[in-house]
Amino acid sequence: MFLTIALVVTGIVSIAYQWQVRHPLTTADFTLFYRSAAAAPAEMYKPPPGPPRNNMNPPHFQLVMRPLTVFSAETASAIFRGLSIAAAIGCIWWLARNSTERWSLADIGALMAWSPAALNISLNQVTWLLWPLLIYAWSSWRKGRWTAGAVAYGIALSFKPFLGVFLLWMVVTRRLKTAVIAVAVAASCFSLGVLVYGVAVFRNWTKAVGDIVWWRSTLNASFQGFMARSLSDPYAELSEVPRWVTPLALLGGAIILLVTLWKTRVRDIEESWTPLMASALLASPLGWLYYGCWLLPGRRPFRLLFQAPMLWVPVFYVKLPGSYFLAATYHSRYFWGFALVWFLSLFGVTAQHVAHREQPVPAEN
């Protein structure tokens, strides 16, 4: 009981603090989305002045954002944030009631105190708006409704291509129909953006993605982010990363994916979701911390708290002397958090996991 009260109080304080210090329009991620959606197609992916920041969302995302541009940036930001919070509350309510392990008040407190949740509030990110699509896909697949889940997943995939690890899992588990439907839905979404804005905008988007230089950000919890921080000169500029970091990171990411697919090939989606999502975040060049919320369909927040306490270390900047040790440890704490979740969900054998293995996996409908 004491732990539950402590978690709830900590969660409320964390949410209130992040709301108080949330990023203003000048630095919030929403401003990038709003600016791109309001701009002419040729200017859609032109970087704004200031620190290097690119809008990495594909063209059809700007099409979805465009209705908000009839409002001022301040009003649009409030609407966007309100919709995000409503989506998050809806997802949490559904998970608390429908997960295999029912959530308790301690889970709600742990979730509110979680760094990915705090970062979404601070940056006004799109993560929570896409979360219902992923939860619907997970819910449908665990009930054997593979086609319905593939449609929702395909839409989410079109916005965040690193979710493609689930496509590989479908191939490995011989759910080819589901994979084809998901690819078709994602391709249709991409095509809509190209049809409205033109092929040149699509090329500008790929160039914006290719111009990324902030691999070493502490909030990048991917394996490549860890390698870039650990192997770069601690006193060098953020964009200065040894050339051989990328091939090493690609190799490490490929190994993570292969191990994950091999271990989950005989598991159902209930037991596969968390390691697959964790591997997607680790193997992607940019595995931002705020995507950590998407780990939750397969695990209770309270359980994750003890599996990876590093994900509860608050998001704040501390000026510390540069050193390779700090780069690989404290500044990579969120990488280690994702890595622990991946390892323990993949290799930790529980009674629940054994029970699931003994049951037949639902076939495609």
Q: pLDDT digits over 123-182, tens only? A: 999 999 999 999 999 999 999 999 999 999 999 999 999 999 999 999 999 999 999 999
List, for residues 76-113, the tens digit of each pLDDT value. 999 999 999 999 999 999 999 888 888 889 999 999 98
Q: Is 278 exposed, middle or buried (0-12, 13-18, 19+ CB in 10 A)?
A: buried
pLDDT digits (tens, 9 = 90+) for 260-302: 999 999 999 999 999 999 999 999 998 999 999 999 887 889 8
Tokens of 166: 């689930």
**CA distances for 238 relative to 212, 225, 254, angstroms:** 11, 11, 25
Tell me the pLDDT of the chain averaged across its residues.
88
The pLDDT value recorded for residue 355 is 39
Task: Give percent of the chain above pLDDT 90.
Answer: 56
Once rounded to an integer, what is the mean pLDDT over residues 33-45?
89
Burial class (CB in 10 A: 0-12, 13-18, 19+), 355: exposed
d(CA 80, CA 86): 10
Across 197-212, average pLDDT? 86
